A and B are shown apart, each in its own frame.
Chain A
């Protein structure tokens, strides 16, 4: 009897200890974001004596939170919508038609999972096209980078949608676009939700494209942290408040979508 109790609680206790390693840094940021400059410099994990909400007010005034938030939302929305539409359409054709060209397309897309992006030649291309420094430069590059995983997950999933459905729709007189967007695309929802979260995190947290292709006025919140930390390197209370605000959008998206993400990821990977 004693052994079974130990057997039941030992893994639980071990996991609690391990999670401390993950929870303590997050906790440290949270409590110190409410302390004054002097106390925050010790990086303690104790609760603040008084809550200094003015840290947050100061960050809002100094760090261009709203502008950076809107930049991030612009990238996430445009890249997110176009990526889902383009990747699902491409995957539909790849999964359904058996031609050589579609097979080749699939492998060309998949190569993007392995290949690193060629940053400097991309800079060259964007510069020649007159896109360097524009929102469009970040959007097209991030869009092209999200295609491989999108095509991969969608292709695996489309194969599980019965072809008879397409045939029935065609007999009923549905056109190409109607067949895809009205009938097939809604059935791909588990993968779509997974990709919404993936793409949101990828775009929101992107460093490289913004660093190389646009100036700070077009940066997202995480990139602005980098600038802010440089300017206020000793004011850790402000830096931590900035970190809390920057993490909030992506944590909200994670909490809303975690249930779908896990199932979508495993389904897509297993069926693909």
Chain B
């Protein structure tokens, strides 16, 4: 019987999904280990040769590469912090059984259903230096000096992209925190109340320790998503002005557009290594944190 049962779980069921995934996802990742060391370009599609570490040397000599690294990390950390702090606070408020809970939920979540290609033009309009509602509002309340060229000024462009990104993605963060908070047994709060805990103490000593797993999931997901940023920058600034918002995703697209395919693969390879390293470090650090509680 066991032998017979075992045959019902034969590996053939794994084959279709695994084959597609290995060929079109894992395969290209392995290919980049080779392609990144070639001079493949659109001018020599079929004939190209290995050029050793040339691509990587070129990368290090270019300021656009350093800017991309700095910008990618800045974007990732800023979005992780903003979306988790704001998302957590909103989830805590919403967890108090509000009357219009489903309305709030929809308001926060509908932006996450929209493509950046849809959200992009909306924020282009909002950020418009002359007629954009943000500057119009600032001028109307007498704070005209704070009105900026949100996307055209290199000093503000990256932060403007970050704001749009948090706006459009925070729905998922809030949802995950709410489900984490709802899994805390109500008796714990009752016990804390009997002990005379204030709202802050309840949050600090009951809610937070018990939702560390939710924090882990949210931080890891938003960090990985942040490092992989492409669409948000692509729709708003495409790396400009003056490379102020250039990130890895847009640098790969830019070098691809220039026809430097081997070089572009090399940039992608460095990017993959960075994302993997960061994820491992973060998961390790958060595991330790979880163990402490």
Residues on A lying within 8 angstroms of B by beta carbon are 11-12, 14-16, 18-19, 21-26, 28-29, 41-45, 85-87, 89-90, 92-94, 96-97, 101-102, 105, 108-109, 111-125, 127, 140-141, 143-145, 147-148, 150-151, 166-167, 170, 176, 179-180, 201, 204-208, 211-212, 222-223, 225-226, 229, 236, 239-240, 243, 246-247, 250-251, 253-254, 258, 262, 265-266, 269-270
A225 & B121 in contact (Cβ 8 Å cutoff): yes
With contacts A43-B133, A117-B25 taken as known, whether A87 is within 8 angstroms of B17 at the C-beta atoms is yes
With contacts A28-B125, A121-B28 taken as known, whether A212 is within 8 angstroms of B256 at the C-beta atoms is yes
B275 CB contacts on chain A under 8 angstroms: 114-116
Q: Secondary structure at chain A's binding surface: helix, strand, loop or mixed?
A: helix
A102 & B14 in contact (Cβ 8 Å cutoff): yes
Residue from A105, A143, A222, A270 in contact with B14 in the complex, judged by beta carbons closer than 8 Å = A105
A23 & B18 in contact (Cβ 8 Å cutoff): no
B201 CB contacts on chain A under 8 angstroms: none
A120 & B93 in contact (Cβ 8 Å cutoff): no
Give Cα distance in the complex from A14 to B93, angstroms.
9
A254 & B17 in contact (Cβ 8 Å cutoff): no
With contacts A222-B117, A243-B122 taken as known, whether A120 is within 8 angstroms of B252 at the C-beta atoms is yes
Residue B188 at the A interface, CB < 8 A? Answer: no
Q: Mark B270-281, 1 if CB is under 8 A from A, else 0.
A: 011001100100
Give Cα distance in the complex from A249 to B255, angstroms.
34
* 18 pairs, A vs B, C-beta closer than 8 Å: A15-B98, A42-B131, A90-B16, A93-B14, A101-B11, A109-B17, A109-B21, A118-B28, A121-B265, A125-B24, A144-B20, A205-B114, A207-B116, A226-B235, A240-B121, A247-B118, A265-B179, A270-B183
Give Cα distance in the complex from A89 to B10, angstroms.
11
B110 & A90 in contact (Cβ 8 Å cutoff): no
Residue B203 at the A interface, CB < 8 A? Answer: no
A115 CB contacts on chain B under 8 angstroms: 25, 29, 272, 275-276
B90 CB contacts on chain A under 8 angstroms: 15, 18
With A116-B275, A223-B117 known, 13 other A-B pairs at CB within 8 A are A15-B93, A24-B133, A42-B131, A43-B126, A94-B14, A109-B21, A118-B272, A121-B32, A124-B31, A147-B20, A225-B117, A262-B175, A265-B175
Report the 10 A-B pairs with minimum CB-CB distance, sorted nearest first: A86-B17, A205-B115, A222-B115, A121-B31, A121-B28, A222-B117, A144-B24, A97-B9, A118-B28, A89-B13
Residue from A24, A150, A207 in contact with B234 in the complex, judged by beta carbons closer than 8 Å = A207
B29 CB contacts on chain A under 8 angstroms: 115, 117-118, 121
**Which of the 9-residue segments B60-68, B101-109, B150-158 touches chain A?**
B101-109
Q: Mark B1-36, 1 if CB is under 8 A from A, else 0.
A: 000111111110110111011111111110110010
A266 & B114 in contact (Cβ 8 Å cutoff): no
**Which of the 9-residue segments B75-83, B141-149, B223-231 touches chain A?**
B223-231
CB-based nearest A residue for B179 = A266
Residue B240 at the A interface, CB < 8 A? Answer: no
A90 CB contacts on chain B under 8 angstroms: 13-14, 16-18
With contacts A147-B17, A205-B117 taken as known, whether A43 is within 8 angstroms of B93 at the C-beta atoms is no
Least distance between B246 CB and chain A CB atoms (Å): 16
Give Cα distance in the complex from A158 to B99, angstroms.
36
**In B55-96, which residues have CB < 8 Å from any A CB?**
90, 93-94, 96
Residue B237 at the A interface, CB < 8 A? Answer: no
With contacts A90-B14, A140-B24 taken as known, whether A125 is within 8 angstroms of B31 at the C-beta atoms is yes
Residue B100 at the A interface, CB < 8 A? Answer: yes
B11 & A28 in contact (Cβ 8 Å cutoff): no
B271 & A179 in contact (Cβ 8 Å cutoff): no
A45 CB contacts on chain B under 8 angstroms: 133
B110 & A26 in contact (Cβ 8 Å cutoff): yes
A112 & B5 in contact (Cβ 8 Å cutoff): no
B5 & A170 in contact (Cβ 8 Å cutoff): yes
A141 CB contacts on chain B under 8 angstroms: 24-25
Give Cα distance in the complex from A124 to B231, angstroms.
22
Residue B161 at the A interface, CB < 8 A? Answer: no
Residue B264 at the A interface, CB < 8 A? Answer: yes
Least distance between A110 CB and chain B CB atoms (Å): 11
B28 & A166 in contact (Cβ 8 Å cutoff): no
Least distance between A224 CB and chain B CB atoms (Å): 9
Give Cα distance in the complex from A24 to B231, angstroms.
22
Q: Mark B227-259, 1 if CB is under 8 A from A, else 0.
A: 110110011000000000000000011001000
B21 & A114 in contact (Cβ 8 Å cutoff): no
Residue B217 at the A interface, CB < 8 A? Answer: yes
B115 & A23 in contact (Cβ 8 Å cutoff): no
B51 CB contacts on chain A under 8 angstroms: none
Most chain B CB atoms below 10 A, which of A120, A145, A179, A225: A120
Residue B160 at the A interface, CB < 8 A? Answer: no
Least distance between A11 CB and chain B CB atoms (Å): 5
With contacts A15-B98, A93-B9, A114-B276 taken as known, whether A122 is within 8 angstroms of B116 at the C-beta atoms is no
Give Cα distance in the complex from A108 to B25, angstroms.
11
Least distance between A242 CB and chain B CB atoms (Å): 8
Give Cα distance in the complex from A148 to B179, angstroms.
22
